[in-house]
Amino acid sequence: MELFFLYLLLAVMNGYIGRNRLIGFWGFFFLSLLITPLLILLFLIFSIPRELEKTV
């Protein structure tokens, strides 16, 4: 049961970090639930925030 809550907490954390990215909070939250939070976290580290995308 503790592992489930840890998995859910990591998914919420990924959603919070990804809130300023292209697909937003809910997109990263559901991707974290479907794939794995650790893989999505690595993707978030290397992705560009939405504000920087407009200027690049």
Domain count, the chain: 1
Q: Are 11 and 39 spatial neighbours (Cβ–Cβ below 8 Å)? A: no
Higher-scoring residue by pLDDT: 34, 53: 34
Give pLDDT, residue 50: 74
**For 20, what's the count of Cα atoms within 13 Å in the CB-facing half-sphere?**
9
pLDDT digits (tens, 9 = 90+) for 4-37: 999 999 999 999 999 988 889 999 999 999 999 9
Residue 55 lies in a domain: no
Average pLDDT over residues 38-55: 81
Q: Which domain does 45 fall in, by range?
A: 2-50
Give pLDDT, residue 51: 73
Q: How far is Cα 54 from Cα 24, in angstroms, rounded to an integer?
A: 16
Closest by CA to 30, choosing from 44, 14, 45, is 14
Residue 56 lies in a domain: no
Which residues 6+ apart lie within 8 Å of 44 measured at CB?
14, 17, 18, 21, 28
Give pLDDT, residue 56: 57
